[in-house]
Amino acid sequence: MAPITLSPAEARVLGALMEKAITTPDQYPLSLNSLRLACNQSTNRDPVVDYDDATVQHALDGLRDRGLASRNKAPGERAIKFRHHANQVLELSDAHAALIGVLLLRGAQTPGELKQRCERIHSFATTAEVEGGLAALVEREMVVVQPRRPGQKERRWIDLVTAHDGSALIGLEAEGVSERAAHDPAQSLHRGSHSGVAAASVIHAAASTAPKTMTIVNPASGVTIRTVEIHNETEIAAKLKRARRAQRDWAARAYEDRAAAVSRWRDLIVANAEACAQITTQETGKAIAQSRNELNAVSERMSYFIDNAHTVLVADTVTIEADLEEHTTYEPRGVVAHISAWNYPYFVGLNSLVPALLTGNAVLYKPSELATLTGLKLVDLAHAAGIPADVLQCVTGAAATGAALVTSGVDLVGFTGSFATGRAIARVAAERLIPLQLELGGKDAAYVCDDVDIEAAAEAVAGGAFYNAGQSCCAVERVYVHERIWEPFVAAFVRSAEQWQLGDPSDDDTTLGALARPQQAALLAQQISDATEKGARVLLGGEAPNQPGNWFPATVVVDVDHSMAIMREESFGPIIGLMRVVDDVAAVERFGESEYGLTGSIMTQDRDRAERFLRQIDVGTVYWNCNDRTTPRLPWAGRRHSGLGVSMGLAGIKAFVHEKSWHLRP
């Protein structure tokens, strides 16, 4: 039988359909809402997933493509419901399907746990029968038996054959990925929003043991670049131990010594900027001109931290009296874990690495699996600059590696990625009460007032929407246009969008490169389909080209409203919805109809009007007549689902120290 590879979301959705078909037949088939609730229940596999309807729907689409699921609407019923067909496709009995369903949904189980889940099945209730079914599935190489874990009373631990990225492999072969993987933000510790699903460019999968390497693939061509080592829990623990020892000596150095090493690092990055840009373009698909732009800004960014980090280490004296002194000192946190993003790997990485190192911390740095080679290059240059090897260590791998790093015992976790994964990290961190730096998703809005230069405003907003193929934390993802200029602005915006043309990312003239994540094109198509089914019109683009690689054209959609995913959920790609509003008050209301709060922008010639508007929107960063920009001099912080904590600015540096209060009686 040919292998069937399921993404983590597809595995969980299929498991929910299969288990519910047996254990609760009176509730089967399942509506989308019921299926989402079933998927989000606490399980062994991942106790903190928080799938939304779009994630579940996209996983269902992938399952339907393989014939593993179908949808139907019974006469008299309002909701569309879904059922699985795994029994037929995989040639499973009802009893064996129940076992597979439990494992898909709930992760590794002991035989006793499986029996409890299957006890409602009349013909499949005893431990012996469960073990007999497992033996049959093991023989088919669909299930593996793992050694008993320390402290475990049961003698066996059962799990599905899995790929290293957390996806489930059903079949007899060990390699392969589905052509269509579900959008699954909750399973990865790296940004598809600049995070998304785990191991998007990693296509090697092992059948029964954790793999030791992953393969990096060029997203523009599908060509393999190289393989990279995957670090496991044991290796991460060893790295942490070395980092703790090295951190004490690093913190004891004078600030000037640490700053000198970081300055040499900056100079080496600048000297190797072209090589760094080429690496990033090859593994992420970013247009080479845009990779160079990012590298060109590195010197200013690092210099700001070098010139200012010492100020947060200066002790404060609040009281000096004859018999009492009161002081505050500021000390490094210890060992910091930084789980970085792929969309701006230099900016996102250095925003944490540099202030953390300057303030005396050691860092375990996990680059995104989609920008691993970039991360390795950064660390190599740091070591060449004289930053001790154990003070800054690179941890490579996909979601499982990131999860192991979060739970390893570090003193602070920084993460850039999706809201769902950020919340999962926060729950884990809460167990140890360690601080967090979370930069999460965004659905950033722009408002175009009726007094603008229409052509200039259209060009500026289009740049915010399509730069880096829309894969920016603060990309413009929804546009509200004053009704008085609606028609001329839309026409001008389409003309501007037409200038963003797909091309070879290595070509100097390319403005729209490849998508880093192969499954992102399917997500974008789903959002467009949802919008058009509800009455929206596509004025430009809308369909991925039929060619190798991960591509999607600049797409403009109008006649949208907030019932549509394109106006509510993060797109992270070159698609944009435009919506007319009657006035500034209506625009403020539309801005607020989002769970995200990263940035917001207004285009107008009236500064007072702009400032009145920007004071009313609940976001961390606001723009007047600009968008999609950051600076090291200002703090960067999201609100609500867009994150916790702050990076950049003095506040971002202070995140890497904690206070110690001194009460002294001479």
The pair of structure tokens assigned to 603 is 């285009």
Q: Which residues contact 247 (CB under 8 A, 6 or more apart)?
A: 332, 334, 335, 360, 361, 362, 391
Domain membership flag for residue 569:
yes
Question: Using one digit for the tens of pLDDT, what is the confidence trace for 603-623?
Answer: 999 999 999 999 999 999 999
* pLDDT score recorded for residue 193: 33
Domain membership flag for residue 207:
no
- % of the chain with per-residue pLDDT over 70: 81
- % of the chain with per-residue pLDDT over 90: 62
Same domain, yes or no, for 555 and 517? yes
Same domain, yes or no, for 336 and 348? yes
* pLDDT score recorded for residue 192: 32
Q: Which residues contact 178 (CB under 8 A, 6 or more apart)?
A: 4, 5, 6, 7, 10, 62, 66
327 vs 126, residue with greater confidence: 327
376 in Cβ contact with 394 (< 8 Å)? yes
Q: Looking at the predicted structure, is the pLDDT value of residue 305 above 50?
A: yes
Same domain, yes or no, for 171 and 291? no
> Can you spell out the DSSP letters for 179-219?
SS----GGG-SSBHHHH-STTTT-----SSS--SEEEEE-T
* pLDDT score recorded for residue 224: 93
* pLDDT score recorded for residue 99: 76
Question: Using one digit for the tens of pLDDT, what is the confidence trace for 528-576?
Answer: 999 999 999 999 999 999 899 999 999 999 999 999 999 999 999 999 9
CATH of the domain at 63: 1.10.10.10
Query: Following CA atoms 271, 471, 584, 590 in sequence, which dihedral angle do they give, to the nearest 10 degrees?
Result: -150
Q: List the one residue out of 251, 400, 419 whose CA is nearest residue 332.
A: 251
How many domains does one find in the chain? 3
Out of 10-19, 67-76, 375-384, 460-469, pick the least confident: 67-76
CATH of the domain at 598: 3.40.309.10
Residue whose pair of structure tokens reads 């060009």 in the numeric block? 459
First to last CA, the chain: 81
- Name, of 53-62, 107-116, 375-384, the range with top average pLDDT: 375-384
Domain membership flag for residue 189:
no
Domain membership flag for residue 268:
yes
Same domain, yes or no, for 652 and 636? no
Same domain, yes or no, for 450 and 390? no
Same domain, yes or no, for 328 and 341? yes
Domain membership flag for residue 499:
yes
Domain membership flag for residue 249:
yes
- Name, of 4-8, 18-22, 52-56, 285-289, the range with top average pLDDT: 285-289
Same domain, yes or no, for 496 and 396? no
Same domain, yes or no, for 492 and 555? yes
Q: What is the mean pLDDT of residues 630-638?
A: 95
The pair of structure tokens assigned to 50 is 């928080």
> Can you spell out the DSSP letters for 494-563?
HHHHTT--B--TTSTT-SB---SSTTHHHHHHHHHHHHHHTT-EEEE--S--SSSS-----EEEES--TT
3-class SS string, 362-401: EEEEECCCCCHHHHHHHHHHHHHCCCCCCCEEECCCCHHH
Mean pLDDT of all residues in the chain?
84
Question: Using one digit for the tens of pLDDT, what is the confidence trace for 169-221?
Answer: 554 322 222 222 323 322 322 223 333 222 222 222 222 345 688 999 999 99
Same domain, yes or no, for 177 and 324? no
The pair of structure tokens assigned to 64 is 């339907």
Same domain, yes or no, for 503 and 399? no
Same domain, yes or no, for 429 and 456? no
Same domain, yes or no, for 491 and 586? yes
182, 215, 249: which is the final residue of a domain? 182
Rounded Cα gap, residues 420 and 630, in angstroms: 24
Structural domain span for residue 45: 4-182
Rounded Cα gap, residues 407 and 666, in angstroms: 43
* pLDDT score recorded for residue 79: 66
User: Would residue 559 be called left, alpha or beta, if left means φ above 0 and alpha means ψ between -120 and 50 degrees?
Assistant: left
Predicted structure pTM score: 0.73
Domain membership flag for residue 215:
no
CATH of the domain at 343: 3.40.605.10
Strand order in the sheet with 599-603: 537-540, 555-558, 575-581, 478-482, 445-448, 599-603, 621-624
Q: What is the mean pLDDT of residues 499-513?
A: 96
Domain membership flag for residue 197:
no
Q: Which residues of 27-47 are buried (b: 16+ CB within 10 A; e: fewer)?
A: ebbbebebbbebbbeebebbe
